[in-house]
Each structure stands twice: as C-alpha cells, then as structure tokens.
Amino acid sequence: MKNFLLPFFTLFLFIQSNVATAQNQFETEGVIVPRNIEFQGKTLQLNGFGTRSKMWVDVYVQALYLTTLSQEAQYILDSDTEMGIRIQILSNLVSSKKLTKSLNSGMEKSVGKENMKQFESQIILLESLMSTEETRKDDAFNLIYNPIDASIWLYKNNKLQGKIPGFEFKKAFFGIWLSNNPVDEDLKNDLLGKY
C-alpha cells in the first residue's frame, strides 16, 4: 500500500509546488512579473500588468502595485498611499534619453501642456535619476510612491537612485498610464486588471 501511495504523494507535492510558484509571479514577453513587492515594511500587491508597444515594437513590460487592489483609475491617482510602477525594458532601442522623453510626452498628454511648468524641477530630477547609467534591455525600474515623505522613490535594478518629491507630481506621473488621457488605453485597462 505504501508503495502504491508514494507516486501519488510525489505527484501531489510537485503540483502544489508549481501552483505556489505560479501564485508568486507571472511571465509575459519573457519577463517575470512578481505578485508582490516589498517597500519600507509594506507589501504592495500586483494590480495588473501589460506591455507598452510603439510602432510595432514591444518597448517595456509594466506592472502596477497597490496596497489595496482597485479598478478605479481616479481613486488610485488621488490615493495618498504606497503604490508602485514597475517598468522592465524589452528592447535595445530604448535609451535613457528616449525613455525620459517618452515619459515627459505621456505626462504632457495626461495633464496638458499648460500644466507642465509646475513640474519642471521634478521632471529635470527624473531625467537625471534615470540617466545615471545608460538604460539597456532587461533593466528594471521601480518607481514607488511613499506617502510618508510624499515622494516617488526611483530604483533601477533594485538600487535606489533617488527621490522625486510631490504628491501632485505623483498624480501626474501615474496619470501617464491611468489618467483620462493615457498613453495607451489598452495598457491602462491591463494595469487596472480589466483584461
């Protein structure tokens, strides 16, 4: 009887270990997207993820992390709680300069050209922090908003590059993907978990 049950028990353990792995991460476009990320003693949960494509080229995989999951974009933008955007570069065609230019264009589209002036110092700091080293394929950026100091903490490949202050800047930055005028409507729906 023991010999008969052993293969079934082994198969059960194998299935359970694969289920646990599947629950901890996802894979898309060859990129592993973690289910959770830790930040300052808090666990941020994956709300949704998708791929940003431009001119038939997959540019990056992006994921949105929240403390409380939501499909309401405006609620997320207005929320003064920990949240993060993870961007992993998919193409060698993406340079630091092109990425920051794209982010600036997305923010301008989101908030309107007339409102960009108020974020000038934060945009300069963002460009500086993202350009400390040249951006390459497979580089991963975590941009995590911390309500304690009202700033976005920018990590490149898990190394803190610096902080960009301002709750209003946080709203404008996350608005690149979540505003009423996002850079990519399909990606917005993916980040909100509206598959």
Q: Is the pLDDT of residue 21 over 70?
A: no
Residue 128 tokens, joined: 């500086």
- pLDDT surpassing 70 at residue 11: no
pLDDT value at position 156?
Answer: 93
Residue 94 belongs to a domain: yes
For residue 134, being part of any structural domain is answered with yes
Question: Which of 24-33, 46-55, 87-96, 107-116 has the weakest average pLDDT?
Answer: 24-33
| DSSP code of residue 181 | S
Stretch 19-24: mean pLDDT? 50
In sequence order, which ranges of the chain are alpha helices (DSSP H)?
2-24, 73-78, 96-111, 120-130, 167-178, 185-191
Kindly report the CATH number assigned to the domain that includes residue 102.
3.50.70.10
pLDDT digits (tens, 9 = 90+) for 62-115: 999 999 999 999 999 999 999 999 999 898 888 888 888 888 889 999 899 999
Residue 167's pLDDT is 97
Domain-embedded: residue 75: yes
CA–CA gap between residue 32 and residue 54 (Å, rounded): 21
Arithmetic mean of pLDDT over the chain: 85
User: In this structure, is residue 119 part of a structural domain?
Assistant: yes
* Number of folded domains that form the chain: 1
Residue 24 within any structural domain of the chain: no
pTM for the complete prediction?
A: 0.84
Which of the four pLDDT bands, split at 50, 70 and 90, describes residue 23?
Answer: low
Helix (H) or strand (E) holding 113: none
pLDDT digits (tens, 9 = 90+) for 173-193: 999 999 999 999 999 999 999
Does 158 map to a domain? Answer: yes
List of long-range contacts for 18-26, beta carbons under 8 Å, 24+ apart: none
Encoded tokens for 183: 């850079």
CA 98 to chain CA centroid, Å, is: 18
Domain assignment present for 101: yes
pLDDT of residue 99: 86
Q: Are 52 and 29 in contact (CB under 8 A)?
A: no
Average pLDDT (121-129) is 92
Burial class (CB in 10 A: 0-12, 13-18, 19+), 190: buried
Q: Residue 35 falls within a domain, yes or no?
A: yes
Residue 9's pLDDT band (cuts 50, 70, 90):
very low
d(CA 11, CA 127): 51
Structural domain boundaries enclosing 103? 30-191
